[in-house]
């Protein structure tokens, strides 16, 4: 599985990305080790005009490149199933790159509480994304995750069973 969060963390550790972020936002967005601290960067990027657009210009092409390379490696390995987490899948126009799109969503109250528990502004973030109803309508599979992780695991296992294929014989 390619996790977008892990990938973004990796990119923020790259010297070229760190240098671009510091040039735009200053070195106060770095932690004590000199790495980009996303908890410091996020509020700053949202507060500054064009801050988020700048980060998207820095990160999105690199993310797309890493995603395409990962997909090529997976195809060459004859992996039975590849799962790629892309939070802004529709917004960046990448949905057509995949055989199926699976959306795990939640009610607005639950999504709001989860975002705010991370110290983020729900309305600001939601305003930059497709409305949840539009994502759900465009998806091939949808699960409403308002709480029970056990139910999510059962549903995810079923999706994997239905979409996965046995590996090719050696």
**Whole-number mean pLDDT of the chain?**
90
- Please report, for the chain, the start and end positions of each structural domain, with discontinuous segments joined by +: 1-77, 80-170
What are the φ/ψ torsions at residue 92 (nearest 5 degrees)?
-95, 5
CA angle, 103 as apex, 102 and 107 as ends, to 5°?
Answer: 160
In whole angstroms, give the CA distance from residue 127 to residue 46: 12
pLDDT in tens, 107-158: 999 998 988 888 778 888 888 889 999 999 999 999 999 988 899 999 999 9
Specify the pLDDT at position 168. Answer: 57
Specify the pLDDT at position 170. Answer: 56
Sequence-ordered alpha helix ranges (H) in the chain: 4-13, 15-25, 38-47, 51-77, 108-117, 122-126, 132-138, 149-163
Its pTM stands at: 0.79
Average pLDDT over residues 70-87: 87
- Would the pLDDT of 1 be above 80? no
What are the φ/ψ torsions at residue 3 (nearest 5 degrees)?
-95, 125
């Amino acid at each position: 599985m390619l996790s977008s969060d892990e990938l973004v963390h990796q990119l923020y550790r790259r010297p070229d990305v760190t240098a671009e972020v510091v040039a735009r936002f200053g070195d106060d967005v770095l932690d004590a080790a000199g790495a980009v601290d996303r908890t410091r960067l996020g509020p700053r990027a949202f507060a500054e005009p064009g801050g988020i657009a700048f980060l998207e210009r820095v990160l999105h092409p690199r993310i797309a490149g890493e995603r395409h390379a990962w997909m090529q490696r997976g195809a060459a390995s004859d992996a039975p199933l590849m799962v790629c987490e892309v939070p802004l899948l529709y917004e960046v126009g990448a949905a057509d790159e995949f055989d199926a799109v699976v959306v795990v969503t939640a009610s607005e109250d639950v999504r709001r509480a989860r975002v705010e528990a991370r110290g983020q502004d729900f309305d600001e973030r939601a305003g930059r994304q497709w409305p949840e109803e539009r994502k759900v309508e465009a998806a091939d599979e949808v699960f409403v995750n308002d709480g029970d992780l056990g139910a999510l695991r059962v549903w995810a296992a079923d999706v994997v069973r239905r979409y996965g294929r046995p590996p090719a014989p050696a």
